Structures are given as C-alpha cells and as structure tokens.
Amino acid sequence: MVESKKYKLLSLGVIALFVLLIFTEIADRCQGSLSLYDRYRDMQSRLLTPDELSTKKNELLSRKNALAKFINSDAANYDQNPTGVFEFVTESVKHVNLRSESLVPVKHEATGEIIVVGFRVNCTGSFHDVGRLVNALEIGSFSIQILNVKIATDTHVKGKVHSEIEGKALIFSEHHRPIALNK
C-alpha cells in the first residue's frame, strides 16, 4: 500500500507539472499569437483601397501647392533660382540702408525637390540696420535661414559696424516646383 501511494503521489506530481507547463508555456504562446493577430487586423483595417489612395494623394498635392503658394507669395518678384536669391539679398541690403561690401555664394546643393543656395554678405552700417537686414532676409520672398552673424565695430567711424551674415535659401527645383509657383 505504501508503494501504491508513492506511485499515486508521483503520478499526481507529474500531472500537476504537466498542467503547469501547459498553462505557462502554451498559454503564453497563445497570448503572443493573439496579440500578433490583433496587430495584423489593425494594420489590415488601416490599408487604403486604390481609390482612397488616389484621393488622398490628390488632396495632399493640393495642400502642397496651396502651402507653397502661401510660403512663396512674394516670390513672384524674383526668379526662383540662385540668381533671384542674390538679387533679393542685394535689394534687401539696399532697402535697410546698409553699404554692401561683398556678396559671395557659399554652397549650392540640390537635394531632390529643394535647392539649397548658400551665401555670405559683408556690409557696413548701424547695428540696428544689420538687425533689420536679418529680419528682412528671414521674412522675405524666399525661405532663408540665417546661419551665422558676425559683427565688429568700425574703429574709424563711431556708431558703424562691419557685419558678415551667412545664410542659406531654400528654393524648389525646376522639375519639382509646385504648380502654384510656375510662371
């Protein structure tokens, strides 16, 4: 009888171990599979049909053209090329009563839809006029980012400063120009 109790206890232990393994291993794997299936169903529900996709593409293109028109609303005054950028910078320097000493191209690189036109302008005038020039460049006809401004006082004339302003203008390349900007 003692032997049979031993075997019964051993059998119950093996069965309990088997049930524990089933609940820990198999249940976790089933839960992982269910979560993957839920992710699959979620991704499948987000898929667009070809008609929905073309509608969304047209909406995005119209938004792109509207935003480009808004951003470059003053761009009609200047050509959308590096020459137009330099004309704009030159006119801005004159407009804020600074004396231009030089305007030098720095970098000119094309990255797909956008052309990056770098420049460095040296000018002389009052400190406030230099600030007005930076403001005019940043809010003007082109999307210009000022990268560096160096200002040094003029030792010969009181109230005058020499400034070196480095920046880059972003313009659309000819092939990727939105319809709203084409002339």
pLDDT band at 124, cuts 50/70/90? very high
Tell me the two tokens of residue 2.
Answer: 């003692």
Number of compact structural domains in the chain = 2
CA 174 vs CA 105, 124, 131, 133: distances in Å: 20, 35, 32, 28
90 & 142 share domain:
yes
Shared-domain flag, residues 80 and 168: yes
Burial of 42 (0-12, 13-18, 19+ CB in 10 A): exposed
Q: Do 19 and 59 fall into the same domain?
A: yes
All residues at 6 or more sequence positions from 66 whose CB lies less than 8 Å from its CB, including other chains: 180
Directed axis angle between helix 82-95 and helix 127-139, to 10°? 140
CATH of the domain at 134: 3.30.70.60
Residue 47 binned pLDDT confidence (cut-offs 50, 70, 90): confident
- 132, 45: one domain: no
Q: Which two tokens stand for residue 182?
A: 């084409």
pLDDT: which is higher, 103 or 1? 103
Q: Which stretches does DSSP call E strand in the chain?
A: 99-111, 114-125, 143-153, 161-172
Report the C-alpha gap between 129 and 96 in whole angstroms: 6
Domain closes at, from 36, 68, 100: 68
How would residue 73 be classed by pLDDT, with cut points 50, 70 and 90? low
What is the domain range of residue 141? 76-181
Closest CA to 170 of 58, 47, 82: 82
Q: Model pTM?
A: 0.56
Same domain, 41 and 64: yes
Q: How far is it, in rounded angstroms, from Cα 121 to Cα 164?
A: 6
What is the average pLDDT score of the chain? 83
Domain identity same for 104 and 56: no
Judge whether residue 90 has pLDDT over 80. yes
Percent of the chain with pLDDT over 90: 33
Residue where one domain finishes, among candidates 38, 68, 98: 68
Shared domain for 119 and 59, answered yes or no, is no
- From the list 101, 90, 91, the residue with the least C-alpha distance to 160 is 101
- The two structure tokens encoding residue 96: 């804020």
> Do residue 127 and residue 43 come from a single domain?
no
Q: Above 70 in pLDDT, residue 104?
A: yes
106 and 131, same domain (yes or no): yes
pLDDT for 139-177, tens place per residue? 887 889 999 999 998 778 788 999 999 999 988 776 555
Same-domain check for residues 10 and 96: no
- 82 and 62 in a single domain? The answer is no
Q: What is the pLDDT of residue 76?
A: 59
